[in-house]
Amino acid sequence: MKIIRLLSILDFKIPKKNKYIFLSEMSFVRLKKIDIFKKFGVISLLSEKINIFVIIITIYKNGFSGLKKNYIKNYVNFVNPSMIVCYIDNYYLFYELYNFFKKKK
């Protein structure tokens, strides 16, 4: 039973390049029916879905230390968006991403 649940959260697709992305599926669920947001991509967090392509890159580059934060950073670097939207106002990783990518500019 656990194997079936594990397979249901695995995502084997390579992430598409996108100008706009949502951080978390939960942020996107309520808004995806609006036409404006159909252009947006989604970064699924590790608790929602695991993108196999990105997790392999993350483990190869960074190992297992800070897996969640490094997974999101690598996902964002791969997709290369110009804007990241987060519906959760107190999600600490969103603010850490802001500080990381602010230095990158």
Q: Is the CB of residue 81 less than 8 Å from the CB of residue 16? A: no
Distance CA 98, CA 39 (A): 22
- Parse the chain into domains and list their residue ranges: 19-96
Q: pLDDT tens per residue, the chain (105 residues)?
A: 677 777 778 888 888 898 888 887 776 777 777 777 777 888 877 777 888 999 999 999 999 988 888 988 898 899 988 888 877 778 788 888 777 776 655
Beta bridge partner(s), residue 51: 11
pTM, entire model: 0.80
* Closest C-alpha among 7, 3, 15, 5 to residue 53: 15
Q: What is the pLDDT of residue 88?
A: 76
Q: Which residues contact 45 (CB under 8 A, 6 or more apart)?
A: 23, 24, 25, 68, 72
Q: What is the pLDDT of residue 94?
A: 80
Alpha helices in the chain (DSSP H): 2-9, 25-29, 52-62, 67-79, 92-104
Q: Which two tokens stand for residue 10?
A: 């695995």
